[in-house]
A and B are shown apart, each in its own frame.
Chain A
């Protein structure tokens, strides 16, 4: 039998609140619920017994399809291709203030080195207090060369400096750390677009905070619209984040999740984000 509209609405409104409580953005939760309504109304449910449980099970399965995950091998393949072409692969890191970019840059360098690649880091945050010293210290501790200039220098100049050093030293990968910036400041987003044009990175990675709520959508959307992003990394998942922002960001930008940051140490980079996220979402 087909469920009644009332049964479907009951199940959908509970599901809606579960999504919101898991930090899925309101506009994303709206869209998900609206897209599922039709298929739920068309479902075959048993005549007797817990009919709503059958509908709930369908909703639970739909969560998995909402998380868009990237294959890290695609990134590694690109690095191999760059190596064959005799040039370093370049990855540009962008994102809002305090989302974990600098820490993630060093984690990714460590991840790549474990897989046999040489990496140098570019300290292109020439704005924030202590930013250069922070990356230099992290880099030194982990054994990575950090290319930096002075505060106030043009981020593009630092990036190009790093690219040149990487080319001459035959280093495989250059990771470029940039200053945090708010999506509301168009000028700062344009600065990123200009940096991307100059540096021509193989990938742009957006690092977002897993604890962010509805702002996560607007932040990721604006970075994607103005700069253009290829992958998303969500950090601080270990801070009990439910991870709903991963769904919101996937849904609004279509860009896939590459890693999750699950702590402050070098190894705290999760390369199987889907499983960890489903566990965090707890659906």
Chain B
């Protein structure tokens, strides 16, 4: 199929935006969004919104129907990202407690190190707790990433009670006077009942200020269902999309935002601790549209 750029160019070059050319544009957008892993239902929803607005809206003076449609496409996609502010803030709470949650292998541990480093550079004093009692060498992995950056890591490799480890880690960092504590947890998915119960226990006992759902940028159509299950068990405050340096474009995150109402705050763009950026909605939308 043609790239969306060509579809858009053809649309903008056509003499006028009639129903047929708008339909052709919508088809091109649908294909692009599906290839970027946007959930089928969301693609259909967005198509209806574009279709409805394209011909029912009153055109502002001097604006062509075509330009209006292009603007509508962009607006509808931005709307899917939710209106919530996506900037990190502790709101003055100290220590501000963040808990990272997500499916196995999505990049939680690496992101714990990235977020800790990012916040340290921003001037916060940060401590990281390894509350993953399942993954072999999880604590070593965090230390390996953070010791070179002088960011303290708390862990108890012999203890298999994550709630206890997290509580003691929190106390340890409170004593140290840190501004932010990041808690790394074990990978889990919604079919693992005992792990979902453990997550609820962590939420209940630690009462984090922000639960961040880590979403793999390569995840497909299941992203929404998983995000909904996480959110039902523990309220998700924000989302971080990882591995956007791969062929994945992170379209699954739109469904996660829809299911949790949480904004995307950061993205991971590589394996190094520095490969971490605040989320940029415009460039994300541009890459979804291919």
Which of chain A's residues have a CB closer than 8 A to the CB of B239?
none
Which one of A42-50, A68-76, A95-103 is at the B interface? A95-103
For chain B, residues 7 to 46, give those with C-beta under 8 angstroms from any C-beta of chain A: 31, 34-37, 40
Chain B residues within 8 Å of A134, by CB:
135-137, 141
Q: Give Cα A122 to B191, complex, Å.
A: 32
Contact residues in B for A239 (Cβ distance below 8 Å): 103-104, 189-191, 222, 226
Please, what's the 1-or-0 string for B135-178, where 1 marks a CB less than 8 Å from any CB in chain A? 11110111011000000000000000000000000000000000
Q: Which one, B105, B219, B222, contacts A242 given CB within 8 A?
A: B222
The interface residues of chain A lying within 8 Å CB-to-CB of B145 are 129
Say yes or no: B37 contacts A213, CB within 8 Å: yes
* Interface residue SS majority, chain A: loop
| Inter-chain contacts of B190 with A (CB < 8 A) | 239-240
Contacts of B141 in A (CB 8 A): 128-130, 133-134
Number of residues from B at the complex interface, CB < 8 A: 44
Interface of B is mostly: loop
A264 CB within 8 Å of chain B:
yes
Residues on A with beta carbons closer than 8 Å to the beta carbon of B1: 30
- Assess whether A213 is in contact with B40, with CB atoms less than 8 Å apart: no
Please tell me the number of chain A residues within 8 Å of chain B, measured between CB atoms. 44
B95 touches A (CB below 8 Å): no
Question: A residues 123-162 with Cβ under 8 Å of B?
Answer: 128-130, 133-134, 136-138, 141
Q: Which residue of A lies closest to B246 (CB)?
A: A182
- Any chain A CB within 8 A of the CB of B243? yes
Q: A26-B31, A215-B218 are in contact. Are A97 and B243 (CB under 8 A)?
A: yes
Indicate if the CB atoms of B218 and A209 lie closer than 8 Å.
Answer: yes
Give min CB distance, B269 to chain A, whole Å.
10
Given A21-B40, A98-B107, A240-B191, are A133 and B218 also a contact pair (CB < 8 Å)? Answer: no
10 contacts between A and B (CB under 8 A): A23-B221, A23-B222, A100-B104, A133-B137, A213-B220, A213-B252, A214-B220, A219-B247, A239-B104, A240-B225
Q: Find residues 30-65 in chain B having any chain A CB closer than 8 Å to their own CB.
A: 31, 34-37, 40
* Residues 71-127 of B contacting A (Cβ, < 8 Å): 103-107, 110
**Does A242 lie within 8 Å of B221, measured CB to CB?**
yes
Q: What residues of A have a CB within 8 angstroms of the CB of B144 in the complex?
A: 129-130
**C-alpha gap A241/B243 in the complex (Å):** 19
With A17-B40, A22-B221, A236-B104 as given contacts, are A215 and B246 in contact (CB-CB < 8 Å)?
A: yes
Task: Give, as a whole number of angstroms, the nearest-CB distance from B229 to chain A.
Answer: 9
Complex Cα gap A133–B105 (Å):
17
Per the bound structure, the CA–CA distance linking A141 and B135 in Å amounts to 13
Which chain A positions have C-beta within 8 A of B105? 97-100, 209, 236
